[in-house]
Amino acid sequence: MNRSAKSSIETSTAYLFLLAALLFAVFPTFWILSTSVKTRADIFAIPPTWLFTPTFEHFQNVLTDFPFGKFFFNSLIVSTTTTIVAIALGSPTAYAFARYTFRGSKDLSFWILSLRMAPPIAFILPLYILMSNLKLLDTQLALIIVDLTFALPIVVWIMIGFFQSIPRELEESALVDGSSRLGVFWRIVLPLSLPGLWTTAVISFIFCWNEFLYALILTGSNARTLPVAISAFNTQRGILWGEMGAASVIAILPVLMFATFVHRHFVKGLTLGAVKG
């Protein structure tokens, strides 16, 4: 076998693998999207229907029969507020870690990293009792307070990387010109880091948006978020698949929209910047 024939076989095998992986990766998401716009008859048809006339009745049902508008709003408020607070508190912290070494700075930054590793169930048991004592159960505030325990470390660790990539010379020349260090951070560093801030905010938002365990334990009918509301659908009875599909699509749509912009940086959110994404 000559060299070019061998390499063309290799290439086709490689792309065959990629195609298989692609089908496996995309199919479940495609299936939930299609379930959400199928009629009841099409959903339970055997063999499954691949071509059908789409219907939006399930989306209507989800928004009228169940208060999914309210759950969506709860998720939006909690995720947005948590992200804003995390950025406001976390980015100065990240800047300090990126630019200064002081006694204990290594230990402190590692401690913040280690919060990401601990099992959330260990945090939530005592926090539940504290929130209950503070009469904060089933409020958005309680969820925001608790969500910050993972959103803050995410923001700090991703922003350290962004701040380190800004050349120091700009800050030094501004200091020579008589700006204060806080002024340099506010007027020079932050504007330069705007793309990084946006990326970080989106990643923090997605983490809050997807969060389930804390919301399950801390919220009731009032502050319930989308994931908790969706988890209440029972698949075994199998009667509400269309509604389940529609609610799922409502929950994953914002993520799908953002995904294309941040997918590579998203890994930094998971590894807290331990690897360059």
Partner 1 sequence: MTAKRDYFPLFLIAPTVVYLFLVVIYPMVYSLYLSTTNFDLSSGVQSFIAVENYLEILRDAEFFESLGITLTLTATTVSCSLLIGLGLALILNRYTKGRIVILPLLLTPMMLTPVVIGLMWAMMYNADYGVFSYLFGLLGFERRSLIGDPSTALLSVIVTDIWQWTPFMMILLLSGLQSLPQEPYEAAQIDGASKLQTTRFITLPMLMPTIMVAVIFRTLDAIKIFDIVYTLTAGGPGIATEVVSLFIYRTGFRFFHMGYATALSWVLLAVTIVISQVYIKLIRTV
> Rule CB under 8 A: is residue 148 a binding residue for partner 1?
yes
Q: Which of 8, 9, 17, 222 is in the footprint of partner 1 by CB under 8 A?
A: 17
Which of 90, 161, 196, 273: binder of partner 1 (CB under 8 A)?
A: 90
Task: Report in angstroms how near the CB of residue 148 gets to partner 1 at its nearest.
Answer: 7
User: 10 Å Cβ neighbour count for 83?
Assistant: 27
Q: Is 152 in the site for partner 1 (CB under 8 A)?
A: yes
Rule CB under 8 A: which of 175-234 touch partner 1? 181-182, 185, 206, 209-210, 212-213, 216-217, 226-228, 230-231, 233
Q: Which is nearer to partner 1, 27 or 56 (CB)?
A: 27
Q: Which of residues 235-264 bind partner 1 (CB under 8 A)?
A: 235, 238, 241, 244-245, 248, 251-252, 255-256, 258-260, 263-264
- Tell which phi-psi region holds residue 45, choosing left (phi > 0), alpha (psi between -120 and 50) or beta: beta
Among 122, 176, 191, 221, binds partner 1 (CB under 8 A): 122
**Sequence-ordered list of residues with C-beta below 8 angstroms from that of 233, at least 6 positions apart, any chain:** 240, 243, 244, 247
Which 28-67 residues touch partner 1, going by CB under 8 A? Answer: 28-29, 31-32, 35, 43-44, 46-48
- Binding test (CB under 8 A) with partner 1, winner from 63, 77, 115, 190: 115
Per-residue x/- marks for partner 1, 154-173, CB under 8 A? --x-----------------
Q: Residue 275, interface with partner 1 (CB under 8 A)?
A: yes
